[in-house]
Structure 1
């Protein structure tokens, strides 16, 4: 096992991708700790949040909004529908499409999810002052945009998929 002051580790710690991944793992662990008893994954929270903010959205729109491949949004919605958190209705303008809505149970769960999400954000950003948080988010968005320009849209069939 290399020591913490090894040249290899120093090289890794100088890489944006490596450092982002380490941060993502830590943030995901914090999320799991705070949300485990509700049996909600990050991707499910994303889906519920988009549907809450855009009632009637189509599955493809929800997937594109949170970077989930088209092939994977269906099973995510199936799981949420099985828990009676989401309902699908025929789209009034295109009967081949579906519109998504939160159920009453989904709306009730969202109140608790918002509370925990705020606690999670506070927990992971506790070491940043408000200005640093704003700058950090700006840097992350620019990095994401740059990555999209290089590798394409994250929600496309050829794009990367979010993992929990």
Structure 2
């Protein structure tokens, strides 16, 4: 493959992310969740006490958009806010009892969509793609993986 080869790896990754995001967006409607709300809910499940600003940085979403997403989840009773122990300007987020089953169903939806979108790959290829993408994200946006190392160790 040459430097001028088309489609480029970046273009293919972007196309895949667009397909994946579209499928997730449609599937998450059953839970009345947007992609930003889904990110907020899942990051809060993985990292109780996380702030909306932390989730925005991890997700690559603007703080304003994440604030709107979190606000809607709080209104629905899926998340609750508590004062941050050291910052008067920040609030910590926690999943509520009402939010846990929604998060569990959303996680099942995510796994189903991932299985559908990676169906053309063998299990070995899926593992290779996963490891390569992990390395790239770990290098370019390590904050996106916050909480993952702790989760893998347990």
| TM-score for the superposition, normalised by structure 2 | 0.76
1:1-164 superposed matches below 5 A: 13-144=6-137, 148=140
For 1:32 and 1:60, the matched residues in 2 are separated by 22
Q: Does the CA-based 8 Å contact 1:13-1:19 persist in structure 2?
A: no
Gaps of 5+ in 2: 145-154
What root-mean-square deviation, in Å, do the aligned CA atoms of Structure 1 and Structure 2 show? 2.5
Q: 1:12 to 1:46 in 2, by over 3 A?
A: farther
Structure 1 partner of 2:150: none
Instruction: Kindly indicate whether structure 1 or structure 2 has the higher relative contact order, using CA contacts under 8 Å at least 6 residues apart.
Output: 1
1:66 is displaced (CA, Å) by 2.0
For 1:81 and 1:125, the matched residues in 2 are separated by 33
Structure 1 runs, 4 residues or longer, greater than 6 Å off: none
Query: Secondary structure, in 3 states, of the residue corresponding to 1:101?
Result: strand
Deviates more, 1:120-129 or 1:137-146: 137-146
Q: Which has the larger radius of gyration?
A: 1
| TM-score for the superposition, normalised by structure 1 | 0.72
